[in-house]
Amino acid sequence: MSAIIEEHHHDDHHHGPAKGLMRWVFTTNHKDIGTLYLWFSFAMFLLGGTFALVIRAELFQPGLQLVEPAFFNQMTTMHGLIMVFGAVMPAFVGLANWLVPMMIGAPDMALPRMNNYSFWILPFAFTMLASTLFMEGGGPNFGWTFYAPLSTDFAPPSVTYFIFAVHLMGISSIMGSINVVVTILNLRAPGMTLMQMPLFVWTWLITAYLLIAVMPVLAGVVTMMLMDIHFGTAFFNAGGGGDPVLFQHVFWFFGHPEVYIMILPAFGVVSAIIPTFARKRLFGYASMVYATSSIAFLSFIVWAHHMFTVGMPLAGELYFMYATMLIAVPTGVKVFNWVATMWQGSMTFETPMLFAIAFVILFTIGGLSGLMLSIAPADFQYQDTYFVVAHFHYVLVPGSIFSIMAAVYYWLPKWTGNMYDETLGKTHFWLSFVGVNVTFFPQHFIGLAGMPRRIPDYALQFADYNMVSSVGAFLFGFSQLLFLFIVIKCIKTGKKATAQVWEGAHGLEWTIPSPAPYHTFSHPDEVDLKEAHG
Amino acid sequence: MTETVPKPRTVLKLVLVAFGMFGFGFALVPLYTVFCEITGLNGKTGEQYTQSTVETIDKDRLITIQFLTNNNVDMPWDFRPQVRSMKVHPGELNTTNFYVRNPARTTMTAQAVPSVTPFMAATYLHKTECFCFEQQQLASGESLDMPLRFIIDRDVPAEIETLTLSYTLFDITEQPQDQPAIAAE
């Protein structure tokens, strides 16, 4: 530890970033790496979004118009994989890189060189994944959940590239998470206790533990696939003594905590933004920490609710049903706390606050449809319909993605030193808000009416809602170009931001100048603990 | 700056957790098999049954057992049970045959995989002899009557009046032949 401080002191304490492109390749600075992660994730967001628009364009009308069913399947698969592993997860890692050291008064991440590696693995992983679309037999077409034997016996040859790409993403995530945990546990400013940390840091600490626990399981399951495909084992092949249902158990043992990996940091972001714009302290800080931990714990013991229809005994159905419903309790505590924070606050509605409030409302809708899905007998009806699609898009798009956008608007002045254009920001919010709801709300109805997911064609009675949904998707998709424009404009010009940026903002990151200097908190004396956690 | 825990120790612990969880992923495979075996979940039937004591036959109960046969994708063999269903007494040793024929031009190897419905009945179905314990190799045009000898346990719960034993036939010609038979799992 002290070695790092001294090194900073002697070598580059007064240095700015290196010049030229190689700055980004060799950088070990947490702010640079955070920026890289965020830009990378935005690029993946646009790529995955393009795939989504191919899907919605095909579904605009019943019948086959634009793409072959085989390509449609590749689009649904790649959309899911890119959005989960390429857009949402790296965006949160980027936020963690930028914010965690600044929030806990640390000079940098604990393992800066490894930080560089964990980022630079990703472009290779996703280039490899995306390149499968141009290979003979096409890219992965088995859905982002890649159920065996569809992804083993019946997979296109490019599945090996997919497996290797997943391995790389996993290694990147695990290294990133180890970095976050070590930073939080070892590099907090002297005197800062765990219960003084901002909730964003808390949620990321718990998320990082989840990642370290389940990403290796994902690596294990794709390794088993690899062995089944190339080395003649039969983990998932019933003819050779294996069991395809085993795949689903192992996959969802990873998959369910993964769902919370994508939402817990969002809780942290919203818990930072709402108090600022309500000009009140967060209501129930300690209960937020305990609720987050409970959600993380419960995420390990509910995985089979994704597979109610595989043929479980009644006791299993009941157990997984009740355990799943239990998650609504800590989640409800959080929603209650956010609402209570806003209660009687002096609220203003700048863009980050708009996104945060939309998060609370729309995430709750997604949570409630999740509660409907948790009812095992009802799930027999809902499973594999558009109702499921509507559910998880409600928690992921106006959930995770809105929180990331809220975070970008909230901390952008700190990162760039300029205020973003508030009018454009609000325009972006309203376009996104309307777009998201027009896209996904009708999917509840067509799902309940029985439209299956992952199909390129559908029965005529679903035509109207699908058309509405497609219009909404294009509105949402193209609105994101406005987001890109706003961010670039903010980097280039804009009203100069003050150190505190927002009137009601509290926390260590608001004690340093805007833009944040290349090196911050190089010496513990710079940390004013009175400003810790807002 | 003071620190309570040295950084390398934290890193080491976390790396160990990551490796441990990778191993745990693989450990789920045998755990799952054992779990299914104990609970009879998934309709998995047990290994070859060797009668330890002479069972008395429960003449008061009659249980219907139905036989289903399925071919896995691309499996061309004719595969059917000799009888579609039997009425048997618990404790009684029964025998039936399944017919297979290989209509393909080449010699093929097959493996039948059993499954019992309802799942809770799986642990009460004892097979003293079953073609699913081994692989079948048939030359082109060759046919075979494969025996199944089974006992339904006397302790089978009263609510089970009918149970279905289904076999799916897999083409394993291309697979390495040293694989253990399914039912040995």
In this complex, which of A232, A253, A312 lies closest to B28 when CB atoms are compared?
A: A253
Angle, alpha carbons A72-A77-A83 (nearest 5°) = 120
In this complex, which of B1, B11, B175 lies closest to A182 when CB atoms are compared?
A: B11
CB B170 to CB A239 under 8 A?
Answer: yes
Mean pLDDT value across residues B120-140 = 86
Is A23 inside a domain boundary?
A: no
Domain ranges, residue A523? 34-229+249-531
DSSP run (H or E) holding B147: strand B143-152
* C-alpha pair distances (Å), A98 with each of A104, A212, B113: 11, 20, 54
ipTM of this complex prediction, to 2 decimal places: 0.85
Indicate which of A118, A186, A192, A253 best probes the interface with B, i.e. most B CBs within 10 Å of its own CB: A186
Closest CA to B7 of A112, A43, A396: A112
Q: pLDDT at position B4, please?
A: 53
| DSSP assignment string, A49-102 | HHHHHHHHHHTTSSS--SS-HHHHHHHHHHHHHIIIIIIIHHHHHHHHHHHHHH
Strands B63-71 and B162-171: parallel
Pairwise CA distance, residues A262 & A207, whole Å: 8
Give B-chain residues touching A221 at CB under 8 angstroms: 25
In this complex, which of A182, A214, A241 lies closest to B10 when CB atoms are compared?
A: A182
Q: pLDDT at position B40, please?
A: 65
* pLDDT > 60? residue B181: no
Is A469 inside a domain boundary?
A: yes
Mean pLDDT value across residues B48-59 = 71
Q: Does A365 touch chain B (CB under 8 A)?
A: no
Total Cβ atoms within 10 A of residue A341: 23
Q: pLDDT at position A10, please?
A: 46
Instruction: Show pLDDT as tens, one digit a residue, over chain A (534 residues).
Output: 444 444 444 444 456 787 888 889 999 999 999 999 999 999 999 999 999 999 999 999 999 999 999 999 999 999 999 999 999 999 999 999 999 999 999 999 999 999 999 999 999 999 999 999 999 999 999 999 999 889 998 899 999 999 999 999 999 999 999 999 999 999 998 888 999 899 999 999 999 999 999 999 999 999 999 999 999 888 998 888 788 899 999 999 999 999 999 999 999 999 999 999 999 999 999 999 999 999 999 999 999 999 999 888 888 899 999 999 999 999 999 999 999 999 999 999 999 999 999 999 999 999 999 999 999 999 999 999 999 999 999 999 999 999 999 999 999 999 999 999 999 999 999 999 999 999 999 999 999 999 999 999 999 999 999 999 999 999 999 999 999 999 999 999 999 999 999 998 999 999 999 899 999 988 877 777 777 764
User: How crowded is the C-beta side of B139, counted as CA atoms within 13 Å?
Assistant: 0
Q: pLDDT at position A415, please?
A: 96
The interface residues of chain B toward chain A in range 24-83, judged by CB-CB distance below 8 A, are: 24-26, 28-29, 32-33, 36, 39, 41-43, 72
Cβ atoms of A254 and A202 within 8 Å: the answer is: no
Closest CA to B126 of B161, B152, B148: B152
| DSSP assignment string, A425-441 | HHHHHHHHHHHHHHHHH
pTM of the model: 0.90
Provide the pLDDT confidence category of residue B5 given band limits of 50, 70 and 90.
Answer: low
Is A327 inside a domain boundary?
A: yes
Q: pLDDT at position A341, please?
A: 96
Give B-chain residues touching A210 at CB under 8 angstroms: none
Cβ atoms of A462 and A446 within 8 Å: the answer is: yes
Is A457 inside a domain boundary?
A: yes
Torsional sign, CA A183, A188, A194, A197: negative
Is A150 inside a domain boundary?
A: yes
Domains in chain A, number: 1
Q: State the catalytic residues of A.
A: 79, 108, 144, 172-173, 256, 258, 260, 271, 305-306, 331, 334, 453
Fold of B43-184: Ctag/Cox11 (Pfam 04442) (2.60.370)
Is A378 inside a domain boundary?
A: yes
Pairwise CA distance, residues A390 & A318, whole Å: 24
Q: pLDDT at position A15, please?
A: 65
